[in-house]
Amino acid sequence: MNDLLAALAHFPQAPLGHVAPTPLERANRLSDALGIDLWLKRDDVTGLGMGGNKVRQLAFYFGDAMAKGADAVLITGAVQSNFMRTAAAAGAKLGLSVHLQLEERVPSNDPLYKTGGNVFLDDLFGAERRSYPVGEDEAGADRALAAWADELRANGKRPYIIPLGPGHPPLGALGYCQAAAEYLEQYAQHTVHVIASGSGASHGGLLFGLRALGCQDPVLGICVRRSAGEQIPRMFDRCREIGELLGIENPVYEDDISLFDDVLAPGYGQLSQHVAEAILMMARLEGAVLDPVYTGKVFAGLIDLCRRHIIPSGERVVFWHTGGAPGLFAYQNIWEDLLSK
């Protein structure tokens, strides 16, 4: 057995339903429109809580939580976080209480953004939520989450914190090491992979997994939260941390990390004309739904790379559709305002 697969087998995973394998589908009409051989890796259909890539990651976090006897899970993230929505669903399925800290990362006073989309689903799945007023303060958000865990502990709960900031064991990234192996079972010839690069768990796990399995396919990360210059060292650290967690040598070199931030503006979670056009193109040519925060931005980046011939004509490309469609409904007013201009 490959060292990666043997190492992954040592980590407990929670039973979160049908997670994998997810479909690999050719996007025929988009292939014609963009002049490439485009395939969609449909991680939007992982099944739990309206799906998405976070199901793969949370299988490892909830597996660890349950192995440690936890009965409460805490997590911090943006108001329209897919991770938190899926964590709420996982808690409902497994019988653990879930406590969500919503960070004000996106400057919006739209009441639909504050209460619709993923937030509505958080409530539907029975999670408790609190607001954290600062959007770009990972250390402060972690401290606030730890204080909340202390409150729960004082009330007799056994809390487990899912950390999103750097410097913690990246258990969630292991889900995308597995996804790399799954993809190579579906197609083992040369491919360019395009994926969101935010926390680095999905991007880092996929890149680490492919390299550990001997695959040298390019993995292009589209920045969704911070600039490429800021993200490159974060990604390299994330890959190093994955190797340390698994107990195997890090097969990722710095020049393996390809990042593009050309469609990041105006910032994390903020809709632009380019992203709106990308969402419309995917919907009207393939009937698939993207979100403004991650997949819409990634697909806008992919279109840009094709137009600038960084991805050459005829290239086989896999777009990792990591889900997030529920968040689109929180942007309806913002969407209509943008398209009316």
Which are the catalytic amino acids? Answer: 81
Query: What type of residue is 194?
Result: V
- Residues 6 or more apart whose CB falls under 8 angstroms from that of 325 comprise 44, 50, 289, 290, 291
Six-digit token pair at 88?
Answer: 């709420």
Residue type, 176: Y
Of the candidates 211, 179, 214, the one whose C-alpha atom is nearest the C-alpha of residue 195 is 179
- Give the span between the Cα atoms of 46 and 17, in whole angstroms: 8
118 CA to centre of own chain: 14
CA distance to 19, 69, 261, 277, 294, per residue, from 61 (Å): 14, 13, 29, 35, 21
CA dihedral 75, 200, 59, 139 (to 10 degrees): -20
User: What is the rounded CA–CA span in Å between residue 283 and residue 302?
Assistant: 15
Query: In angstroms, what CA-CA distances link 167 with 15, 170, 245, 246?
Result: 27, 8, 12, 15
C-alpha closest to that of 18 among 44, 48, 50: 48
